Structure 1
């Protein structure tokens, strides 16, 4: 990531790292976004959280590693706090970091539960789902990707419409 930042921001990029080094290279065109495109990093392991704190503009956990679950607001908040601390330790302003979250939307009819008995996020009534989204906003989540995919295109379009009609108005 540091090598890319050098390529994106320097007129005469030079870099020497553990796995990559270059001098006297031309890199064009430069990105339109200044100083460079936002760098999103994912992962929930301690190493991934440190990397996000040191280098990322946005932390985007995938939540797919059962060793490091991100299935509840509390878990997400804990990880986000650690990313901010790592940013501060690296001399960065933690307020400069943004946060993202990706989740599946299971249904808006009834709540389902996790093995520990907690309600699965984005299940339950439209108001419960909207409240889940608002809690993530309160945690600093700026980008939320909600997977609305169904088994068929028709089902996916119906889910998108239900989400737009029943839940989005409650989050405004």
Structure 2
């Protein structure tokens, strides 16, 4: 909250390919060093047509079409840790059946003892969405309906949903998540519209730092949108994918802005290089949390 001492947790993002460090091994390394969370991305597939330009510019990096399934990988991470939070950064919800996805996430939350962080996004690859039957220009409506349907399945004994893209009559869906009312839903988006979507149906916000020119202004904008909607801005957890220019000073600036979590990246390479990055930032964990 404003006026109070601020603290920040550190998480770690990995591309999670079949040739990078195993998610279970990475998870153990993170928990041993005191990191708060592991974040794994999702692309179910990448169409070879490559019509959609890569948002980062240039050729699409190889890890994007080699990503393993995040939920299976996070299950492996859960099995070898006790406290590490398990996040998707991000899950392409629109490419999933919401009934099946709700059960997958709730199951992971149960077997992990309530450690899931449900990072979501709208996606950028139009032809990938088309192969899943989702029109690119309607993706945000599809996302909202699927999230609302998943919430209903998590929180209601007999859930139903009647939308434009998602419809199902009253049904039972178990298990329910351990976390109440449900695992935090955290939207990855850097635009004003994205911040409004956070206010409308999410619990947290997690942009990529390189996509924001003015982070303080974006934080103020989110708070103003929350207040206008009748939500307490302090109830919306602020996180950031700190992927560019990350050092001690940057992390402290984010903490002082009220960012509660920074997620740094590790290389898609040999475990010893991953370990070097983890060891570099580990001494900051206690300082940022103090």
TM-score by length of 1: 0.71
| 8 Å contact from structure 1 (residues 77, 139) kept in 2 | yes
In the alignment, structure 1 segments of 5+ residues that lack a partner are 106-120, 123-128
Matches of 1:21 and 1:89 in 2, distance apart?
Answer: 30
RMSD over aligned CA atoms reads 2.3
Tell me by how many angstroms 1:61 deviates.
Answer: 0.6
Distance of 2:281 and 2:170 partners within structure 1: 52
**Greater Rg, structure 1 or structure 2?**
1
Alignment of 1:80-91 (within 5 A): 80-91=219-230
Q: Are 2:263 and 1:96 aligned? A: no
Whether 1:139 and 2:278 are equivalent positions in the alignment is no
Question: Are residue 70 (structure 1) and residue 209 (structure 2) matched?
Answer: no
Contact 1:6–1:14 (CA under 8 A) maintained in structure 2: yes
The 8 Å contact of residues 266 and 274 in structure 2, kept in 1 or not, is answered as yes
Quote the Cα distance in structure 2 between the aligned partners of 1:147 and 1:19: 35
Partner Cα distance (1:18, 1:92) in 2: 27
Give the whole-Å Cα distance in 1 for the aligned partners of 2:202 and 2:166: 19
3-state SS in 1 of match to 2:159: coil
Correspondence 1:20-99 to 2 at 5 A: 20-63=166-209, 69-70=211-212, 75-99=214-238
Instruction: Indicate how the Cα distance of structure 1 residues 170 and 153 shifts in structure 2: closer, same or farther if over 3 A, else same.
Output: same
Relative contact order higher in (CA < 8 Å, ≥ 6 apart):
2
Taking the aligned partners of 1:20 and 1:89, their CA distance within structure 2 comes to 29
Do the aligned partners of 1:6 and 1:13 also contact (CA within 8 Å) in 2?
yes
Q: Which structure 2 segments of 5+ residues have no match?
A: 1-146
After the TM superposition, list the runs of 4 or more consecutive aligned residues in structure 1 that deviate by more than 6 angstroms. none
Cα offset, 1:82, TM superposition = 1.8
Aligned: 1:130 with 2:248: yes
What is the TM-score of this pair, normalised by structure 2? 0.44
Tell whether 2:164 aligns with 1:18.
Answer: yes
Tell me the number of residue pairs that the alignment of Structure 1 and Structure 2 aligns.
143
Q: Find the residue that maps to 2:231 and give its secondary structure.
A: coil
Structure 2: distance between partners of 1:87 and 1:43: 16
